[in-house]
């Protein structure tokens, strides 16, 4: 498995696509390869990028067809990320091969948690031969993500300092504020913040301004 997993985001709403891209980029071990707004554009992106794409975040309602119908064509793993709540659609997506089905709207942290679970799923199933325990562990990671209880003691000294900063804060903080307060580079702060989000120690949300990309804000759960 490569150091970073490539993600294709397929959604015809550019704001939703940008939101999902921001979450993906905030989670350690992932990078966004491309975005597409239709079935045809998704096929083109897959043809252009080939094996660089490991996971597709796929909407159901697209201008030229259903994302669920596309799942069976994909040469990579898929999460359905859509607003369709019909139980038949969920069953169809699972039959077609989707690994997860997330119903919009959902908390930003939920997608980050599922992505962390996907990393664990890939790690466990990277072995040539697996036993039943490994299979159960991999499938559980997909369904439930990385649980906070499993990562409670995994924080580094820098991450403990970050958590102390949030404990003393009156509200959410941005990565640049954490960077300045803790004394690390913005890139390092974002990496530690992403780790704390996937570990369930922090929640992440996106704050939209009048222009530009949304900013990621972080806060303690609860």
Domain regions of the chain by residue span: 5-119, 150-219
Interval 65-92: pLDDT, tens: 999 999 999 999 999 999 899 999 999 9
**Per-residue confidence at 140, pLDDT binned at 50, 70, 90?**
confident
Gap between the terminal Cα atoms of the chain: 35
Interval 36-51: pLDDT, tens: 999 999 999 999 998 8
pLDDT score recorded for residue 1:
43
Express as a percent the part of the chain with pLDDT over 90.
49
Starting at the edge strand that comes first in sequence, how are the strands of the sheet with 100-103 ordered?
30-36, 5-10, 55-58, 77-82, 100-103
| CATH topology match: 5-119 vs 150-219 | no
Burial 100-113 (b: 16+ CB within 10 A, else e): bbeeeeeebbebbb
**Average pLDDT over all residues of the chain:** 87
**131-135-141-143 Cα dihedral, nearest 10 degrees:** -160
Q: Which residue has the higher pLDDT, 115 or 1?
A: 115
Q: Does domain 150-219 have CATH number 1.10.240.10?
A: no
Give the Å distances, CA to CA, from 54 to 49, 76, 131, 145, 190.
Answer: 10, 5, 24, 18, 23
**Per-residue confidence at 210, pLDDT binned at 50, 70, 90?**
low
Long-range contacts of 188-193 (CB under 8 A, 24+ apart): 188/158, 189/162, 190/26, 190/216, 191/28, 192/156, 192/158, 192/159, 192/162, 193/26, 193/162, 193/218
Q: How many residues does the chain have?
A: 222
Q: Is the pTM of this model over 0.75?
A: no
Cβ–Cβ under 8 Å, residues 182 and 162:
yes
Which one of 78-82, 175-179, 185-189, 196-200 scores highest in mean pLDDT?
A: 78-82
**Per-residue confidence at 147, pLDDT binned at 50, 70, 90?**
very low
Q: Which residue has the higher pLDDT, 197 or 12?
A: 12
Q: Domain 5-119 belongs to what architecture?
A: 3-Layer(aba) Sandwich (3.40)
Q: Token digits for 79?
A: 């999460």
Question: Residue 138 pLDDT > 50, yes or no?
Answer: yes
pLDDT score recorded for residue 105:
83
Question: Residue 150 pLDDT > 50, yes or no?
Answer: no
């Amino acid at each position: 498995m490569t150091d970073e997993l490539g993600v294709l985001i397929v959604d015809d709403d550019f704001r939703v696509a940008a939101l999902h891209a921001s979450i993906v980029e905030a989670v350690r071990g992932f990078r966004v390869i491309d975005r597409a707004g239709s079935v045809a554009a998704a096929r083109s992106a897959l043809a252009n990028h080939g094996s660089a794409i490991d996971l597709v975040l796929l909407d159901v309602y697209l201008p030229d067809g259903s994302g669920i119908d596309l799942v069976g064509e994909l040469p990579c793993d898929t999460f359905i990320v859509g607003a369709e709540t019909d139980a038949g659609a969920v069953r169809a997506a699972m039959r077609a091969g989707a690994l997860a089905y997330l119903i919009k709207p959902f908390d930003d942290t939920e997608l980050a948690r599922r992505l962390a679970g996907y990393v664990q799923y890939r790690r466990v199933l990277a072995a040539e031969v697996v036993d039943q325990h490994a299979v159960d562990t991999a499938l559980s990671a997909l369904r439930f993500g990385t649980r906070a209880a499993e990562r409670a003691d995994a924080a580094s000294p820098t991450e403990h300092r970050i958590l102390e900063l949030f404990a003393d804060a009156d509200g959410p903080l941005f990565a640049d504020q954490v960077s300045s307060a803790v004394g690390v580079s913005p890139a390092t702060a974002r990496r530690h913040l992403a780790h704390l989000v996937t570990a369930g120690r922090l929640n992440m949300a996106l704050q939209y301004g009048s222009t530009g990309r949304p900013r990621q804000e972080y806060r303690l759960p609860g």
